[in-house]
Structure 1
Amino acid sequence: MLNHKVKLEVEEYLIESGLDWTILQPTHVMQQMPLDPIISSGVMTLPYSPATVQGFIDLADFAQVVLKVARAPKEHNMARYELLGCIGSYNEVADIIASKIGKSVKIERIPAEQAAARAGTHPYTQEAMRRMYYYYDTRGLTGSPNVLRWLLGRDPSTWDSYLDRSFKK
């Protein structure tokens, strides 16, 4: 994916710089899923397959890791952490949301071109978004929740726990 290629070049620069570094690589952030429109309409829109398995992280868990690394940078020097808290498909996420709100949530697939247009009009941005959606559609973005569990010293948040917390507000 183009966006990962750009980040890889930054990571390479950091690694070769002689500076102390820690690289945090979060996956899909749960808070990026707009809950209010889903609750009101009962519809979740995606530009890629809702059946493909993805990795998810709660922004609160990510923030705790950022604080932990910032408070003890020497302990995490020269570490690269792939961060995700749970794995599942958006079909499963829709089912969990539906169970919390007491009504069905259907997923509508929108064309990748339409979704990419929301990100901006620059050709590079358009190409990066199309490639990313293709990757998510065919491969997903997964990994192991163990890294986040080890860093947090507890089990990471799940969609169930994140939604419980979100709906209490």
Structure 2
Amino acid sequence: MTEVLVIGAAGKTGRAVTRALLARGVTVRAAVRPGSSSAVYAGVPGPGTDAAPEVHTVPVDLESGAGLPVAMAGVSGVYHLAPNVHPDEVGIARRVAEAAVAEGVSRFAFHSVLHPDDASMPHHLRKAEAEREIRSFVRTATVLRPAAYHQNLVDAALAGRMVVPYSLDSAFTNVDLDDVAEVAALVLCDGRLEDETLDLAGPEALTVREMAARATAVLGRPVEAAELSRDTWTTGPGASLTAQARDDLLAMFRSYDRDGLVGGVGTLRDLLGREPRTWTDVLADAATA
């Protein structure tokens, strides 16, 4: 049975990619931080199988590279997602790519971001440099560049108040996390997508104000959109972050004020062979879950 290493398996993206791989009957080797007690997803039967595919956890320290050779040994592919706004994302990418090459792993998917060359966002530029670093080692690597997820705002919509620290009138082509995970599983199971760069954006350009209006209609109760001042964010949600992470996110909010985050849906539609899921679709499912 095929086995794929998922780096960042305990996060929401890693869990979604794990689900998508398990649904294809792929065994997942889930990289987690040493000593981590975070749960990873398991237990979905693969198509046409009597037994559920498996998830095996393996400790990996991305900052030092400890555990990478063991984690890579014998896998057919790697999905690499670095910790959010990590200052050493490029170094992590180098260590992961070097370990993949040393173990003879050629099928490699890197989770980047939509518009990684946008100079107004330092953490996007680190993604762009990490892309180049990975491809300097793994020539066949595939890069996924997703937009922001619908799921980032679902809980707030269900709670009745969507509060964001950027303009309510900037447009976003948000994408369904499970659609992105489906593409990731396709990349890791189908060699025809090697050495591709895939922009993964959703089917609609919506502002947060418009998203709140649609949520009101879907849920049948008022959902408010509100803008949080930067000062309030900095002394509130941003207070626990490192100075570097806080500055990165503040730069992102300023970029969102100016340009939002918008991409084309064509690539995602073609890869899925169907229409990607909309904000309304995702929210309606969450409301009935």
Cα offset, 1:112, TM superposition: 2.4
Which of the residues 185, 188, 194 maps onto 1:70?
A: 188
1:107 aligns to what? 225
Q: Structure 2 unaligned segments of length 5 or more: list them.
A: 1-120
2:85 is aligned to none
2:219 touches 2:284 (CA, 8 Å); kept in 1? no
Which residue, 199, 203, 207 being the options, matches 1:82? Answer: 199
Deviation string for 1:29-82 (max 9, x for gaps)?
Answer: 1111142x4434x3210101111111111111111101110101x311111111
2-side partners of 1:11 and 1:114: how far apart?
34
1:87-110 residue CA offsets vs partner (Å, 9 max, x unmatched):
211111101110012122221111
Secondary structure in 2 matching 1:96: helix
Q: Secondary structure at the match of 1:82?
A: strand
- Output the CA distance in 2 between the equivalents of 1:47 and 1:82: 25
In 2, are the aligned partners of 1:113 and 1:130 still within 8 Å (CA)?
Answer: no
Structure 2 counterpart of 1:140, one-letter code: G
Shift of the 104–6 alpha-carbon distance from structure 1 to 2, 3 Å rule, reads same
User: SS of the counterpart of 1:88?
Assistant: coil
Q: How many residues align?
A: 166
TM-score normalized with structure 2 length: 0.54
Runs of 4+ in 1 over 6 A off after TM superposition: none
Which deviates the most, 45-54 or 99-108? 99-108
Equivalent in the alignment of 2:69:
none
Q: Tell me which amino acid in the other structure corresponds to 2:168.
A: P
Which residue number corresponds to residue 39 of structure 1? 158
What is the alpha-carbon distance in structure 2 between the residues aligned to residue 46 and residue 18 of structure 1?
38
What CA distance in whole angstroms lies between the structure 2 residues aligned with 1:113 and 1:61?
35
Deviations 1:109-164 (A, max 9, x none): 11224335524432211110110000111101001011100110111001111122
* Paired amino acid for 2:185: L
Q: TM-score, normalised by structure 1?
A: 0.91
State the alpha-carbon separation in 2 of the partners of residues 64 and 135 from structure 1: 29
Name the counterpart of 2:209. 91
Secondary structure, in 3 states, of the residue corresponding to 2:241? coil
The residue aligned with 2:237 is 118
Higher share in helix: 1
Pair 1:54 & 2:172 matched: yes
Unmatched tracts of structure 1, length 5 or more: none
2:146 alignment partner in structure 1:
26
- The alpha carbon displacement at 1:18 in A equals 4.2
Q: What letter matches 2:275 in structure 1? A: D
Aligned CA distance change for structure 1 residues 24 and 141 (closer, same or farther; 3 Å): same
Larger radius of gyration: 2
How does 1:87-166 map onto structure 2 within 5 Å?
Answer: 87-116=205-234, 118-119=237-238, 120-166=240-286
Q: Tell me the secondary structure at the aligned position of residue 44 of structure 1.
A: strand
